[in-house]
Amino acid sequence: MKKSMLILSALFLCAAAIAQDQKIKVGLKAGLNISSLTCDESELNSSAKTGFTAGAMVEIPLTKRISLQPELLYSQQGTKHSFSDEDVINSNYKGTIELNYLNIPVMLKYFVLNGLSLQAGPQIGILFNAKNKYEDNFLGYQNKDSFDLLNYSSGIDTSVNFGLGYQFKDKFYTDLRYNISYSNVFKESDVNRFINNDMKNRVFQITIGYFFK
Protein backbone atom coordinates (compact mmCIF):
# COMPACT_ATOMS: atom_id res chain seq x y z
CA MET A 1 0.00 0.00 0.00
CA LYS A 2 2.75 2.49 0.99
CA LYS A 3 4.78 1.64 -2.12
CA SER A 4 1.74 2.11 -4.37
CA MET A 5 0.94 5.48 -2.82
CA LEU A 6 4.54 6.60 -3.23
CA ILE A 7 4.52 5.61 -6.90
CA LEU A 8 1.26 7.48 -7.52
CA SER A 9 2.53 10.56 -5.65
CA ALA A 10 5.72 10.54 -7.71
CA LEU A 11 3.71 10.34 -10.92
CA PHE A 12 1.58 13.32 -9.87
CA LEU A 13 4.62 15.40 -8.93
CA CYS A 14 6.46 14.59 -12.16
CA ALA A 15 3.37 15.38 -14.22
CA ALA A 16 2.85 18.67 -12.43
CA ALA A 17 6.47 19.69 -13.04
CA ILE A 18 6.42 18.75 -16.74
CA ALA A 19 3.00 20.23 -17.40
CA GLN A 20 3.48 23.68 -15.88
CA ASP A 21 3.37 25.34 -19.30
CA GLN A 22 0.84 22.92 -20.81
CA LYS A 23 -2.91 23.21 -21.02
CA ILE A 24 -4.54 21.08 -18.33
CA LYS A 25 -8.15 19.98 -18.86
CA VAL A 26 -10.68 18.92 -16.22
CA GLY A 27 -13.67 16.74 -17.01
CA LEU A 28 -16.41 14.43 -15.77
CA LYS A 29 -17.15 10.89 -16.87
CA ALA A 30 -19.66 8.11 -16.22
CA GLY A 31 -20.37 4.66 -17.54
CA LEU A 32 -20.92 0.93 -17.14
CA ASN A 33 -18.93 -1.73 -15.28
CA ILE A 34 -19.12 -5.43 -16.11
CA SER A 35 -17.33 -7.05 -13.20
CA SER A 36 -16.45 -10.46 -11.80
CA LEU A 37 -14.29 -12.06 -9.11
CA THR A 38 -11.73 -14.71 -9.99
CA CYS A 39 -11.17 -17.62 -7.62
CA ASP A 40 -8.74 -20.55 -7.83
CA GLU A 41 -11.04 -23.08 -6.19
CA SER A 42 -14.79 -22.76 -5.71
CA GLU A 43 -17.90 -24.92 -6.05
CA LEU A 44 -19.89 -21.84 -6.99
CA ASN A 45 -20.88 -20.98 -10.54
CA SER A 46 -19.91 -17.35 -11.13
CA SER A 47 -21.25 -14.83 -13.63
CA ALA A 48 -20.67 -11.15 -14.37
CA LYS A 49 -22.38 -8.34 -12.46
CA THR A 50 -23.21 -4.96 -14.01
CA GLY A 51 -22.64 -1.73 -12.12
CA PHE A 52 -22.18 2.02 -12.43
CA THR A 53 -19.05 4.17 -12.38
CA ALA A 54 -18.72 7.96 -12.33
CA GLY A 55 -16.28 10.66 -11.32
CA ALA A 56 -13.80 13.32 -12.32
CA MET A 57 -10.71 13.28 -14.55
CA VAL A 58 -7.78 15.58 -15.29
CA GLU A 59 -5.77 15.44 -18.52
CA ILE A 60 -2.19 16.68 -18.19
CA PRO A 61 -0.25 16.96 -21.51
CA LEU A 62 3.37 15.84 -21.22
CA THR A 63 4.34 15.93 -24.89
CA LYS A 64 2.48 16.36 -28.17
CA ARG A 65 1.39 12.69 -28.15
CA ILE A 66 1.58 11.72 -24.48
CA SER A 67 -0.71 12.77 -21.63
CA LEU A 68 -1.25 11.71 -18.03
CA GLN A 69 -4.84 11.31 -16.85
CA PRO A 70 -5.47 10.91 -13.08
CA GLU A 71 -9.07 10.14 -12.13
CA LEU A 72 -11.25 9.83 -9.04
CA LEU A 73 -14.11 7.37 -9.61
CA TYR A 74 -16.97 5.81 -7.67
CA SER A 75 -17.21 2.21 -8.88
CA GLN A 76 -19.79 -0.55 -8.32
CA GLN A 77 -18.13 -3.96 -8.67
CA GLY A 78 -18.55 -7.56 -7.54
CA THR A 79 -19.97 -10.77 -8.98
CA LYS A 80 -23.00 -13.04 -9.12
CA HIS A 81 -22.76 -16.65 -8.01
CA SER A 82 -24.99 -19.69 -7.67
CA PHE A 83 -24.92 -23.26 -6.42
CA SER A 84 -27.22 -26.25 -6.89
CA ASP A 85 -26.94 -29.63 -5.21
CA GLU A 86 -28.03 -32.34 -7.65
CA ASP A 87 -28.32 -34.88 -4.84
CA VAL A 88 -30.86 -32.81 -2.90
CA ILE A 89 -34.18 -31.96 -4.54
CA ASN A 90 -35.30 -28.30 -4.49
CA SER A 91 -31.98 -27.06 -3.09
CA ASN A 92 -30.18 -24.10 -4.66
CA TYR A 93 -28.43 -20.86 -3.82
CA LYS A 94 -28.12 -17.53 -5.66
CA GLY A 95 -26.13 -14.56 -4.40
CA THR A 96 -24.61 -11.25 -5.43
CA ILE A 97 -21.41 -9.88 -3.92
CA GLU A 98 -21.61 -6.08 -4.08
CA LEU A 99 -18.37 -4.11 -3.74
CA ASN A 100 -18.33 -0.31 -3.83
CA TYR A 101 -14.95 1.34 -4.36
CA LEU A 102 -13.43 4.78 -4.58
CA ASN A 103 -10.92 4.15 -7.37
CA ILE A 104 -7.90 6.31 -8.23
CA PRO A 105 -6.49 5.33 -11.64
CA VAL A 106 -3.54 7.16 -13.19
CA MET A 107 -3.57 6.54 -16.94
CA LEU A 108 -0.73 7.19 -19.36
CA LYS A 109 -2.25 8.05 -22.75
CA TYR A 110 -0.35 7.75 -26.03
CA PHE A 111 -2.15 9.29 -29.02
CA VAL A 112 -1.54 7.05 -32.04
CA LEU A 113 -3.93 9.09 -34.21
CA ASN A 114 -5.76 12.37 -33.86
CA GLY A 115 -8.04 11.82 -30.86
CA LEU A 116 -7.33 8.06 -30.53
CA SER A 117 -5.18 6.97 -27.59
CA LEU A 118 -3.74 3.79 -26.14
CA GLN A 119 -3.94 3.77 -22.34
CA ALA A 120 -2.30 1.95 -19.45
CA GLY A 121 -1.74 2.72 -15.81
CA PRO A 122 -1.95 1.66 -12.15
CA GLN A 123 -5.00 2.00 -9.93
CA ILE A 124 -5.67 2.01 -6.20
CA GLY A 125 -9.18 1.23 -4.94
CA ILE A 126 -10.50 2.04 -1.48
CA LEU A 127 -13.36 -0.28 -0.50
CA PHE A 128 -16.07 1.41 1.56
CA ASN A 129 -18.98 -1.03 1.21
CA ALA A 130 -19.12 -4.84 0.77
CA LYS A 131 -22.17 -7.10 0.99
CA ASN A 132 -23.38 -10.50 -0.10
CA LYS A 133 -27.11 -10.47 -0.86
CA TYR A 134 -28.49 -13.95 -1.38
CA GLU A 135 -31.54 -16.17 -1.51
CA ASP A 136 -31.57 -19.94 -1.10
CA ASN A 137 -33.98 -22.82 -1.22
CA PHE A 138 -33.39 -25.93 0.85
CA LEU A 139 -35.95 -28.72 0.49
CA GLY A 140 -38.55 -26.13 -0.48
CA TYR A 141 -37.80 -23.71 2.38
CA GLN A 142 -36.86 -20.30 0.99
CA ASN A 143 -34.69 -17.74 2.73
CA LYS A 144 -33.30 -14.28 1.89
CA ASP A 145 -30.58 -12.43 3.75
CA SER A 146 -27.65 -10.05 3.42
CA PHE A 147 -24.17 -10.31 4.96
CA ASP A 148 -21.85 -7.38 5.61
CA LEU A 149 -18.43 -8.42 4.27
CA LEU A 150 -16.43 -5.31 5.10
CA ASN A 151 -14.73 -6.86 8.13
CA TYR A 152 -13.54 -9.76 5.97
CA SER A 153 -12.12 -7.50 3.26
CA SER A 154 -8.57 -6.30 2.66
CA GLY A 155 -9.87 -2.75 2.25
CA ILE A 156 -7.43 -1.73 -0.50
CA ASP A 157 -7.39 -3.01 -4.08
CA THR A 158 -4.28 -2.61 -6.25
CA SER A 159 -4.65 -3.17 -9.97
CA VAL A 160 -3.68 -2.11 -13.48
CA ASN A 161 -5.80 -0.77 -16.37
CA PHE A 162 -5.40 -1.25 -20.11
CA GLY A 163 -7.61 0.46 -22.68
CA LEU A 164 -8.45 2.65 -25.64
CA GLY A 165 -9.77 6.20 -25.58
CA TYR A 166 -11.12 8.65 -28.13
CA GLN A 167 -11.59 12.42 -27.86
CA PHE A 168 -13.76 14.42 -30.24
CA LYS A 169 -13.04 18.13 -30.66
CA ASP A 170 -10.95 17.92 -27.44
CA LYS A 171 -14.18 17.97 -25.41
CA PHE A 172 -16.21 14.80 -25.81
CA TYR A 173 -14.52 11.66 -24.53
CA THR A 174 -15.09 7.90 -24.43
CA ASP A 175 -12.97 4.96 -23.40
CA LEU A 176 -12.91 1.17 -23.07
CA ARG A 177 -10.85 -0.39 -20.28
CA TYR A 178 -10.04 -3.72 -18.73
CA ASN A 179 -8.96 -3.72 -15.09
CA ILE A 180 -6.89 -6.57 -13.64
CA SER A 181 -6.40 -6.70 -9.89
CA TYR A 182 -3.34 -8.33 -8.34
CA SER A 183 -4.48 -8.10 -4.70
CA ASN A 184 -7.05 -10.21 -2.87
CA VAL A 185 -10.44 -8.67 -2.11
CA PHE A 186 -10.85 -10.64 1.14
CA LYS A 187 -8.21 -11.34 3.79
CA GLU A 188 -9.92 -14.51 4.99
CA SER A 189 -12.36 -17.14 3.73
CA ASP A 190 -15.80 -17.85 5.12
CA VAL A 191 -17.81 -20.73 3.66
CA ASN A 192 -21.01 -19.45 5.29
CA ARG A 193 -20.71 -16.16 3.42
CA PHE A 194 -19.42 -17.78 0.21
CA ILE A 195 -16.16 -15.82 0.03
CA ASN A 196 -12.56 -16.97 -0.49
CA ASN A 197 -9.33 -15.21 0.39
CA ASP A 198 -7.99 -15.58 -3.17
CA MET A 199 -10.80 -13.67 -4.91
CA LYS A 200 -9.56 -10.88 -7.22
CA ASN A 201 -11.40 -8.16 -9.16
CA ARG A 202 -11.77 -8.19 -12.93
CA VAL A 203 -13.67 -5.27 -14.51
CA PHE A 204 -14.53 -4.37 -18.09
CA GLN A 205 -15.52 -0.70 -18.25
CA ILE A 206 -17.01 1.62 -20.87
CA THR A 207 -17.44 5.33 -20.13
CA ILE A 208 -18.30 8.61 -21.78
CA GLY A 209 -17.18 12.02 -20.58
CA TYR A 210 -16.74 15.69 -21.22
CA PHE A 211 -13.70 17.95 -20.80
CA PHE A 212 -14.30 21.57 -19.77
CA LYS A 213 -12.10 24.28 -21.31
Mean pLDDT lowest among 77-86, 93-102, 110-119, 149-158: 77-86
Question: Do residues 212 and 25 touch, judged by C-beta distance below 8 A?
Answer: yes
Domain ranges of the chain: 2-212
CA 6 to chain centre: 21
Q: Output the pLDDT for position 19.
A: 45
Mean pLDDT lowest among 8-12, 63-67, 136-140: 8-12
Q: Which CATH number does 2-212 carry?
A: 2.40.160.20
pLDDT in tens, 141-193: 777 888 899 998 999 999 999 999 999 988 999 999 999 999 999 988 776 66
Q: Output the pLDDT for position 134.
A: 83
Q: What number of residues does the chain have?
A: 213
Helix, strand, coil shares, percent, the chain, to 5: 10, 65, 25
pLDDT in tens, 104-140: 999 999 999 989 999 999 999 999 999 998 887 766 6
Q: Which helix (H) or strand (E) holds 184?
A: none
